[in-house]
Amino acid sequence: MLLLVLLMALSTTDENTTVLMNIGTAKASQQRGAATALVKQTFDAADREQVAIYLDTDSDGAAKRLFDKLGFEEVGKFEIDLSKHGGQGWHSHVGMIRRPLCGGVTRVEEEGAVV
């Protein structure tokens, strides 16, 4: 089985957060686990370094469902009025974060906060 990954970039924003940007898989590789495997590759390093992974994605797309399944939580939302830019309707994105694990639980859970 050939899996073709288009692009993934990580950018460290500060000592506690890494941004996962521009991830995608070729149409022929979708629904075969390529995106899941690619995103999970970032988890070990993030957990070891105790940094959160932040990303943003379309609020209604398949990527949002994947990130939910992988343990990211929604932390913000913004909407764009496409009519102001020559389009029609609205487009919405959500900000999501995956907090690092520490001994099998997130740092937030370890500190007693509700996640």
For residue 71, how many other CB atoms are within 10 A of its CB?
A: 15
Whether 100 and 46 have beta carbons less than 8 Å apart is answered as: yes
CA distance 89 to 101: 39
Question: What pLDDT digit, counting tens, does each position of 16-61 carry?
Answer: 777 777 777 778 878 888 888 888 888 888 888 888 999 899 998 8
CA distance 107 to 61: 28
Evaluate if residue 13 carries a pLDDT over 60.
no
Query: What integer pLDDT is reported at residue 8 of this predicted model?
Result: 45
CA distance 104 to 31: 28
CATH architecture classification, 5-110: 3-Layer(aba) Sandwich (3.40)
Domain ranges of the chain: 5-110
Q: Could you tell me the pTM of the whole model?
A: 0.73
